Amino acid sequence: MPSAAAAEPNQELLALIDQNFHTHRENSIVHGKIIEIRRQVVVVDIGAKSEGIIPVSEFEDEEFEVGDEIEVLLERLENDEGMVVLSKEKAAHKQNWDAIVGVYEAGGLVKGKVKSVVKGGLMVNVGVEAFLPGSQIDIIPPKDLNEYVGKVYEFKIVKVNDIRKNIVLSRREVIEAERAEQRAEFLESVQKGDEVEGIVKNITDFGAFVDLQGMDGLLHITDMSWGRINHPSEMLMIGQKVEVLILDVDKEKERVSLGLKQLQNNPWEDIEKKYPISQEVAGKITKLVPYGAFVELEQGVEGLIHVSELSWTKRITRPSDVLELDQEVKAVVLAINTEEQKISLGVRQLEPNPWDEVETRYPVGHTIKGEIRNLTAYGAFVELEDGIDGMIHVSDLSWTRKINHPSEILKKGEEVEACVLEIDKTNQRISLGVKQLESDPWSEIDAQFKVGDLVKGTVAKIASFGAFVQLEDDIDGLVHISQLSEDHVAKVKDVLNVGDDVEARVIKVDRVERRIGLSIKAAEYSEEQLKKETAAFDALRPSSDLVGLEQAFNLATEEWRPGEESGEEEENED
């Protein structure tokens, strides 16, 4: 049996252990020593009533042995088995969290390794798990987030939620801060005229933005090449390294203008000596547009062949009808504008202009034959040769008839004879006439028709004021409504119809106005009666009662010509 003296030390030891046990608080970090390593757990002594255990998995990727001193989190002082519950991982997490909070409050940066891609961004290990939104990964939106996995970066902590234990990071703010510092240094060191190297950061329709050590410079499309380019992507691509010239620096607005073509010789210098007016040149078609074709004469120098300069005679509506992209062509220099860097070219000038000798081939007064190529409301186009047409105006189709449309006597595709009336080389026009092939019957009308003559004809047109009768040689005479009958006539159609054969007396011949007045009721008159009727007819008001043929024909409601059906079936105007 132990002595009383031996029992005293044991009481002191128990008191000391009990004191140490009560100084340890749950959820606090304590020091411990590894005293045993088992298959599943590691036994750690923290100076409590009993040892604590930690799963071996918490020591993964880390070497350890008996006797090592470690820091652990005291989760529980005693579990159901009377053991102290400890955690090495949670101790590290708590320490890291406290450190992260300290960095966040101080506004510092933290290093971390990207673990995985998650919805909306990346998960990063900075000692604890943190979220990096996709918008905060870089200043340029990344195309593939997987390229960041496994890499270590510096981050700024932008948000900490201590309750939810959430941390939000930003790599973009770190990059922007670095670029701001680099930008300030760049603006201080660079000046107009310097050559610098940059990387194409972005491409737009109007140019490209080039990264110059944290400073974005604009390379406008007009400063990329001395020649014409349709889009900056024809010359540059994102990520490409380029040597550029500083054209302008605005330190206050932090803007830099760049040039690429300025590093090369200007091909437009002495352009008039290289390409004098009227010189024949060769080049390649680079672009076809509705109004012409662009031809590259040399790198950086283009000329335009306007659609009107492609042919002397052919009607070319679109250059693409006769030219192709990349086609090699020859042309003649027509004009140069050095200020606007434009060269006008012509293809037709390589051949003689057929209009220069058109007066020799088609002299005025000469009779020609040609095929009717087209009919319009105002005339007919006759093809004289390939690309050269003459036009017969509707007024030059007949001496005696009022032709409303050339289709009344002409057909497309038929051959016609005509007389050359006039040539306008400047506007490339040839005027033709059909009626000029015959003499004007009105020039000898006095010999053909005299007052008092009894004539026969066919009703060709009917108007409210009278009827037109077709006489010999296609000449029309007018029977006024007052000359239809001795009785009162309310409507012309009550007495006559288009196509009726009539006999009438000539009571008026006016060669100047090209009018013949007829009277049906005077057909049986005596000479004395005829004189009175002629006097009465002369008294009619020309403006209304007796109009000129052209105006009267426009007012007529019915018309008949030989070979056509009678207009009797048509409805007459009252």
Per DSSP, the residues of 70-81 read EEEEEEES--TT
Q: What share of the chain is helix, strand, coil (3-state, %, to 5)?
A: 25, 35, 35
The CATH number linked to 430 is: 2.40.50.140
Phi, psi (degrees; rounded to nearest 5) at 274: -75, -35
pLDDT-derived band at 305 (thresholds 50, 70, 90) equals: very high
DSSP 8-state class, residue 239: T
pLDDT at residue 228 tops 70 = yes
**Domain check: are 484 and 547 in the same one?**
yes
Question: Mean per-residue pLDDT for 265-282?
Answer: 88
- C-beta neighbour count of 146 within 10 angstroms: 11
Q: 228, 263, 298 — which closes off a domain?
A: 263
Q: Is the pLDDT of residue 317 over 60?
A: yes
Q: Is 416 part of any domain? A: yes
Task: Say if 347 falls within a structural domain.
Answer: no
Position 547 pLDDT exceeds 60 = no
Domain boundary among 118, 150, 175: 175
Averaged pLDDT, 134-138? 88
Q: What percent of the chain stands above pLDDT 70?
A: 86
Give the C-alpha separation, 390 to 418, whole Å.
9
Same domain, 246 and 206: yes
In this structure, are 522 and 464 located in the same domain?
Answer: yes
The reply to whether 377 and 458 lie within a common domain is no
Query: At 333, is the secondary structure helix, strand, or coil?
Result: strand
Highest mean pLDDT among 56-65, 67-76, 218-227: 218-227
Do residue 465 and residue 537 come from a single domain? yes
> Regarding beta strands 215-220 and 255-259, do their DSSP bridges make them parallel or antiparallel, or are they unpaired?
parallel
Question: Do 304 and 237 fall into the same domain?
Answer: no
| Range of lowest pLDDT (18-32, 229-243, 476-490) | 18-32
Q: What is the span of the domain harbouring residue 78?
A: 4-91
Domain boundary among 386, 406, 437: 437
Residue 343 lies in a domain: no
Q: Look at residue 236 and tell me if it is in a domain.
A: yes
What is the pLDDT confidence band of residue 24, given thresholds at 50, 70 and 90?
Answer: low
pLDDT beyond 70 at 484? yes
Domain assignment of residue 337, yes or no: no
164 plus 203 within the same structural domain: no
Angle, CA of 180, 182 and 188, to the nearest 5°: 105
Over range 24-33, report the average pLDDT.
75
Q: Which long-range contacts (CB under 8 A, 24 or more apart) does 146-154 make?
A: 146/117, 148/114, 148/122, 149/114, 149/115, 149/116, 149/117, 149/122, 150/113, 150/114, 151/113, 151/114, 152/111, 152/112, 152/113, 152/114, 153/111, 153/112, 153/114, 154/109, 154/110, 154/111
pLDDT reading at 286 higher than 50: yes
- Number of Cβ within a 10 Å radius of residue 516: 28
Question: Are 217 and 294 in a shared domain?
Answer: no
Residue 549 lies in a domain: yes
Average pLDDT over residues 284-308: 90
Model confidence pTM above 0.75: no
Residues 325 and 390 in one domain: no
Same-domain pairing of 485 and 542: yes
The tally of domains found in the chain comes to 6
CB 160 within 8 A of CB 170: no
495 and 455 housed in the same domain: yes
Q: Are 190 and 228 in contact (CB under 8 A)?
A: no
Same domain assignment for residues 171 and 194: no
> In 3D, which of 340, 309, 431 has the Cα closest to residue 381?
431
Q: What is the mean pLDDT of residues 183-201?
A: 85
- At 88-117, the pLDDT tens digits run 767 777 777 777 888 788 888 888 899 998
Work out the mean pLDDT of the chain and round it to a whole number.
80
Considering the domain boundaries, does residue 453 fall inside one? yes
Would you state the pLDDT for residue 23? 56
- Asked if residue 339 belongs to a domain, the reply is no
